[in-house]
Amino acid sequence: MADPKPIERPLSPFMLGQYYRFQMTSVSSLLTRITGNALVVSFILGVWWLLGAALGGGAFDAANAVATSWFGDLVFTLSLLGIWYHYLAGLRHLYFDAGHGLDIETAEMLGWVCIIGSVVLTVLTLIVIQF
Amino acid sequence: MRYLTDRKRAERKGASGTGTEHHWYMSVSAVALAFLIPTFLYVFGHALGQGRAEVVATFGHPFGAILTGLVLFVSMQHFAKGAQMMIEDYTQGSWRRGLVMLVYSLAYVITATGLYALVKMAM
């Protein structure tokens, strides 16, 4: 170990699909990363829309037209699902970090809680924001 | 030949040089966001689709402005550090350094733009 030579090592995702069977624990972990990073798209769109509202005139019309179009609806609805998933998976991470729920049965159950819970919370949010 | 012993190199702050600081920040910001996000989703979702006057009233109001400012700042720091983790897992060398810089820059640009919009609407 004192004098390590640089070795060509494979990078992280090389196992997936080829040697490693997908399972709830790994898929739910992977989804946390995907949803978290994908959320930047809706932040860009949302901040553009806020900037448009601040500047007014044509700037708002342009940003608002995109944000409330079918494309905007698609991005924000998927982001809602993504943010609730990331939210629940994040809470699960904190729970794991505290040393709980690490047996396979509980971990797999918590994966389903994240997936089903995110769908339920998304529908609930879409209803609540109407009022 | 290196004169540092294995023990000496492994001690203290590990390979990252910063110990558990990164992980701890993710935990702290996660808890902060757990409190902020549900309220923010309501405020943002409710305002989206309304006219400009209503949008400015929502985000120009002290509650909407401070909440959104907090969400922007904390979530973009959380994003930058999270994306950094992903980049460090999947890339090496110059790509790794370049992409980490890019992601932090993007997070700062989004934060600054959003804060500017909030200040302008609050005035």
The domains found in chain B, sorted by start residue, are: 22-122 (1.20.1300)
Indicate whether A10 belongs to any domain.
no
At which residue do the structure tokens 């702290």 appear? Answer: B28
A90 shares contact with chain B (CB less than 8 Å)? yes
Indicate whether A115 belongs to any domain.
yes
Give the domain range for residue A61.
Answer: 34-128
> Would you say A36 and A70 are in contact if contact means Cβ atoms under 8 Å apart?
no
Tokens of B82: 């999270």
How many domains, in total, are found in chain A? 1
Quote the pLDDT of residue A17: 67
Output the CA torsion sign for A99, A102, B20, A39: negative
> Would you say B114 and A50 are in contact if contact means Cβ atoms under 8 Å apart?
yes
Closest chain B residue by Cα to residue A2: B6
Closest chain A residue by Cα to residue B78: A36
Instruction: Calculate the average pLDDT of chain B.
Output: 92
Q: Cα separation of B75 and B54, whole Å?
A: 25
Q: What average pLDDT does the segment B67-94 reach?
A: 95
Q: Please give the backbone phi and psi of residue B50, each rounded to the nearest 5 degrees, phi first.
A: -90, 170
Quote the pLDDT of residue B48: 95
Q: Which of A106-120, B4-18, B22-36, B44-58 has the lowest mean pLDDT?
A: B4-18
Contact B45 A33 (CB under 8 A): no
Closest chain B residue by Cα to residue A125: B42
B93 shares contact with chain A (CB less than 8 Å)? no
Indicate whether A4 belongs to any domain.
no
Indicate whether A58 belongs to any domain.
yes
Return averaged pLDDT per consecutive 10 residues of chain A, 131 residues in all.
Answer: 66 69 89 96 97 94 96 96 98 96 94 97 96 86
Enumerate the residues of chain B whose CB falls inside 8 A of the CB of residue A53. Answer: 52, 55-56, 59, 117, 121
Burial A46-83 (b: 16+ CB within 10 A, else e): bbbbbbbbbbeeebbeebbeebeeeebeebbebbbbbb
Indicate whether A13 belongs to any domain.
no
B123 shares contact with chain A (CB less than 8 Å)? no
3-state secondary structure of A16: strand
Enumerate the residues of chain A whose CB falls inside 8 A of the CB of residue B118. Answer: 50, 54
Q: Does position B78 have pLDDT exceeding 80, yes or no?
A: yes
* Identity at A69, one-letter amino acid code: S
d(CA B106, nearest CA chain A) in Å:
9
Centre a 10 Å sphere on the Cβ of residue B41 and count the other Cβ atoms it contains.
21
Closest chain A residue by Cα to residue B9: A2
Say which CATH number the domain at A77 has. 1.20.1300.10
Indicate whether A5 belongs to any domain.
no
Q: Please give the backbone phi and psi of residue B34, each rounded to the nearest 5 degrees, phi first.
A: -60, -35
Q: Please give the backbone phi and psi of residue A35, each rounded to the nearest 5 degrees, phi first.
A: -65, -45
- A93 annotated among ligand-binding-site residues: no
* Identity at B108, one-letter amino acid code: Y
Kindly provide the ipTM of the predicted complex, given to two decimals. Answer: 0.88
Contact A43 B75 (CB under 8 A): yes
Long-range contact list for B1-4, CB < 8 A, 24+ apart?
Answer: B1/A3, B2/A2, B2/A3
